[in-house]
Chains A and B, each alone.
Chain A
Amino acid sequence: MDERAAVLDLLRENARYTTADLARMTGLDESAVEETIAALETDGVVAGYTAVVDPSKLDDEPVRAHVECNVTLDRETSYRDIAQRLAGFPEVASLRLMSGDYDFALDVEADSMGEVSRFVSEKVAPLPEITQTVTHYVMETYKESNHRFDTEEGDERISYSP
């Protein structure tokens, strides 16, 4: 694994690893780690850093929905054009173009089911290219960004073993 891949792999595992720890784990010196991270950021490979939040642990748990959208294209409108419009809404946490039965998958977050419904019916569905939306409300999240939320696994090994 080259330096860039090694650092990226570790950042994806835990973006809060200190530069010193990244250096210790990869065997690089700290300045090399800093340079590698800077290059990853400059090149847009690392687009941002965020926390993985278990929403059920929040006092005000947001409502999340997965919205499938079908669209129709014309000579002057591309998927990218539609994506630009959808991505601009702050309610849209993630947006992907999909293969299969529908075109776009939106992860929508809001304070209430009513707010999600209004957003989909008043902002998304009326867009001229949107032909159909199907909204699935998230009932529970068990795993997010490789972190599992449903386990209480401690280290069950005995403290000393041969």
Chain B
Amino acid sequence: MSETPLQPSDRVASVPESGIRRFFEVAAEMDNVVSLGVGEPDFATPYRAREAAIDSLQRGRTSYTANKGMVELRERIADHVTRYDLNYDPDEEIIVTAGASEAIDATFRALVNPGDSVAIAQPAYVSYEPGVRFAGGEPLPVETRAEDEFVLTRERLEAAGAQEAELLVYCYPNNPTGATMTEDELREVAAFCREHDIAVMADEIYAALTYEGDHTSIATLPGMRERTVVFNGFSKAYAMTGMRLGYALAPAHVVESINRIHQYTMLSAPTTAQHAAIEALDNCEPDVEEMCTQYDRRRNFVLARLDEMGIDCFEATGAFYVFPESPWPDAGEFAEALLQAEQVAVVPGDAFGTGGEGHLRMSYASSMDDLRTAMDRIERFLE
């Protein structure tokens, strides 16, 4: 008999602690840490959106909204995504959630049967694999590689055995690599999914942070809309991480399934955040453009400094991460030594699954002063 009846389920126990968590605890004890380990903007939410949130509170708009989110917000989202050639019915095909993370988790539970194989393009956002496991599925890592600029290819899918998978999950622009995929590259993935009747979960939370060329959504390609769930949200583009607001776009029956879970767990996304989001979509586009300009400059700066230091790094063209090769064979050891010696926080790539080994995730969502300090310290550390 166990000491306490409060034991984690086998499903929960099978999921290890996040690789990021270990570093967080070390860094939390230190002063003067310059962090390139953060996965969120360093900008505050655009002022107008914050004002809208305050206004909604002052007016006492603090009750639940419709399960799928405020109608006005879903209508704004439907308009907004037309910029990516996505057309979804705000009544039936859009659901607003507490962050894109909730949408992804609910979708796993809505679509995955016990034992189902879920292909995950790796390195990947840390929550996909646990999400699949919590839903009872079997994660199938599909490694992408630096030599392919971390794009997902048919060869990689086939080599991983993804043709047997029920579902494919990916994120482009990508966390942690900063990679994006072109329309032609996505066509290859789309063809593979159609051939093998695989559904797709396309995490496009960084779509607005695409620096070279336009973002393409796989759901716009022939035969893909009906087999794809698209995720997006306000955290990254609108610097609203703490507001916890995301959304999913999918055919009506899928949204209905996601909502079945959402209505019994979250009920509805935070109301204050939904008011802020309406204002963000209506009036904060200049803020997004300004943030993109700043990120692009910082990206150039970081890539140039890494190059000058002789650290190999493919040219990340999206999100706010670069994913250079670790100067030491063991990226975890390097990250730990760098943190101890120079108080610079970076994340070892293996925290994001296979394919990430030997790399480091560096976020450039930090001020130019901090980025310069971090790069100077890394340079000094390498000397």
Contacts and interface: CB of A to CB of B under 8 A. Distances in A.
Contacts of B18: 162
A28 to B, nearest CB: 10
Interface string B115-127: 0000000000111
Given A157-B42, A162-B18, A26 B37 contact: no
Interface in B292-315: 293, 297-298, 300-301, 304-305
Nearest to B372: A21
A162 B304 contact: no
A23 to B, nearest CB: 8
A17 B23 CA distance: 32
A100 interface: no
B261 interface: no
B35 A155 contact: yes
B38 A157 contact: yes
A155 B42 contact: yes
A158 interface: yes
B297 A161 contact: no
B23 A160 contact: yes
Contact of B298 (A9, A25, A159, A162): A25
A23 B24 CA distance: 34
B42 A162 contact: no
B370 A159 contact: no
Nearest to B344: A159
Contacts of A158: 24, 28, 38
Size category of the binding interface on chain A: 10 to 19
Given A24-B304, A24-B305, A161 B40 contact: yes
A162 B39 contact: yes
A84 to B, nearest CB: 37
B366 interface: yes
Given A155-B35, A161-B20, 19 more contacts: A9-B293, A10-B297, A17-B368, A23-B304, A24-B300, A25-B297, A25-B300, A25-B301, A25-B368, A155-B370, A157-B42, A159-B28, A160-B20, A160-B21, A160-B23, A160-B345, A160-B347, A161-B38, A162-B126
18 contacts: A14-B368, A17-B368, A21-B301, A25-B297, A27-B300, A155-B42, A155-B366, A157-B40, A158-B28, A158-B38, A159-B27, A159-B35, A160-B20, A160-B23, A160-B24, A160-B27, A162-B18, A162-B127
